[in-house]
C-alpha cells in the first residue's frame, strides 16, 4: 500500500461508517413518518430523536461545549438560537447556528423562519446558518442584512430533503460541508465563497455605524434648521 493511500483510508472508513449510520437514521425516520406528522409531535422530540443524532453522525459531540444550546447570537436576552456550533481548540470560535423546527413547520417555504435564522447569523457575523426539522435541511446566506419581507427561497443556498441525507451525493455534501472535521478545515468559508456574494457583504458592525452616521446627519440638520443662531460647533455638541 502506498503511503498516500494509508493516510486517506481512515478518513474514508470513517465517512463510510457515518453514511451507514445516516442510512439507518433515515430508515427509522421513514418508518415513523406517520407518527412524526402527528400535530402533537413536539420540537423537543424531533431534536432528541433525530436532529441530535444527525449532528452526532457528522462528528459533533452534542454533550460538550462544541455545541451550545439556546445561545444568544448577539449577547442579548431576547432571542436564542437552538444550537451554536463551536470549534473548541486551539482557539474557541463560533462557526454556525442551527435553528430546529417542529414537524408542522415547512422549512423551505417559511419566510418567518428564514428571517429568524438569517437574523441569528447576521447578528453573530456568520456567513451561513441552518434551519431543519430533520425532514428538511436548509442552508441560508447570512451575509446580507435580513428583512422581514425577504422571500424564503431567495437566500436559501442549499436544500435537502431527508431522503437525500443517505445518498452518496447528499451525504457527501453534509459530511464535506458540515462535518466537524470539515468545518475545522474551513469548509464553511469555502461554501460562502462559492455560494454567497461575500465580497459585497457588510458586517453588522459596519451597518450599525452607517446607521449612526445617518442619524447624526439627520439630527444635525434638524437642530440647525430649528436653531439658526447656533454655530456649527454648537450644533455638533448638541448632536
- pLDDT: which is higher, 11 or 120: 120
Would you give the DSSP letter of residue 219? Answer: H
Longest dimension (CA), the chain: 87
Helix crossing, 168-178 with 3-31: angle to 10°? 110
Q: Is 80 helix (H, G, I), strand (E, B) or coil?
A: coil
| Cα torsion 133, 134, 137, 143: sign | positive
- pLDDT: which is higher, 5 or 156: 156
pLDDT at position 191: 95
Hey, where are the domains in the chain?
3-200, 204-238
Q: Looking at the predicted structure, is the pLDDT value of residue 134 above 90?
A: yes
C-alpha cell at 135: 425532514
- 197 falls in which pLDDT band (50, 70, 90)? low
Q: Looking at the predicted structure, is the pLDDT value of residue 25 above 60?
A: yes
- pLDDT: which is higher, 223 or 207: 223
The pair phi, psi for residue 138, each rounded to 5°, is -125, 135
pLDDT at position 204: 40
Q: For 21-34, what is the mean pLDDT?
A: 96
Q: Looking at the predicted structure, is the pLDDT value of residue 215 above 50?
A: no
pLDDT at position 32: 94
Q: Looking at the predicted structure, is the pLDDT value of residue 113 above 60?
A: yes
The residue whose grid cell reads 434648521 is 225
Q: Looking at the predicted structure, is the pLDDT value of residue 231 above 90?
A: no
Task: Give how far Cα 135 sits from Cα of 12, 24, 35, 238, Å.
Answer: 26, 15, 13, 56
Dist CA 81 CA 231 (whole Å):
49
Lowest mean pLDDT among 8-17, 73-82, 152-161, 229-238: 229-238
What percent of the chain shows pLDDT beyond 70?
Answer: 75
CATH of 3-200, one of 3.40.50.300, 3.30.465.10, 3.90.1570.30, 3.40.50.720: 3.90.1570.30
Look at residues 211, 212, 197, 204 and name the one whose alpha carbon lies nearest to residue 124.
204
Q: For 26-45, what is the mean pLDDT?
A: 93
H or E segment at 71? strand 67-71
- 217 falls in which pLDDT band (50, 70, 90)? very low
Amino acid at each position: 500500500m502506498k503511503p498516500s493511500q494509508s493516510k486517506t483510508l481512515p478518513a474514508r472508513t470513517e465517512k463510510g461508517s457515518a453514511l451507514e449510520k445516516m442510512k439507518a437514521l433515515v430508515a427509522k425516520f421513514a418508518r415513523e413518518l406517520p407518527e412524526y406528522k402527528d400535530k402533537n409531535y413536539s420540537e423537543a422530540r424531533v431534536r432528541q430523536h433525530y436532529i441530535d443524532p444527525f449532528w452526532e453522525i457528522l462528528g459533533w459531540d452534542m454533550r460538550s461545549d462544541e455545541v451550545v444550546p439556546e445561545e444568544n447570537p448577539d449577547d442579548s436576552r431576547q432571542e436564542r438560537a437552538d444550537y451554536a456550533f463551536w470549534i473548541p481548540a486551539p482557539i474557541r470560535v463560533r462557526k454556525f447556528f442551527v435553528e430546529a423546527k417542529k414537524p408542522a413547520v415547512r422549512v423551505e417555504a417559511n419566510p418567518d423562519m428564514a428571517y429568524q435564522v438569517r437574523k441569528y447569523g447576521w447578528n453573530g457575523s456568520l456567513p451561513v446558518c441552518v434551519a431543519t426539522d430533520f425532514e428538511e435541511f436548509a442552508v441560508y446566506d447570512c451575509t446580507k442584512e435580513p428583512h422581514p419581507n425577504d422571500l424564503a427561497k431567495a437566500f436559501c443556498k442549499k436544500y435537502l430533503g431527508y431522503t437525500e441525507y443517505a445518498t452518496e451525493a447528499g451525504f457527501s455534501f453534509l459530511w464535506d460541508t458540515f462535518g466537524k472535521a470539515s468545518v475545522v478545515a474551513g469548509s464553511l468559508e469555502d461554501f460562502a465563497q462559492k455560494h454567497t456574494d461575500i465580497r459585497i457583504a457588510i458586517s453588522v458592525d459596519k451597518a450599525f455605524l452607517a446607521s449612526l452616521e445617518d442619524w447624526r446627519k439627520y439630527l444635525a440638520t434638524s437642530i440647525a434648521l430649528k436653531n439658526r443662531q447656533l454655530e456649527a460647533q454648537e450644533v455638533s455638541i448638541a448632536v
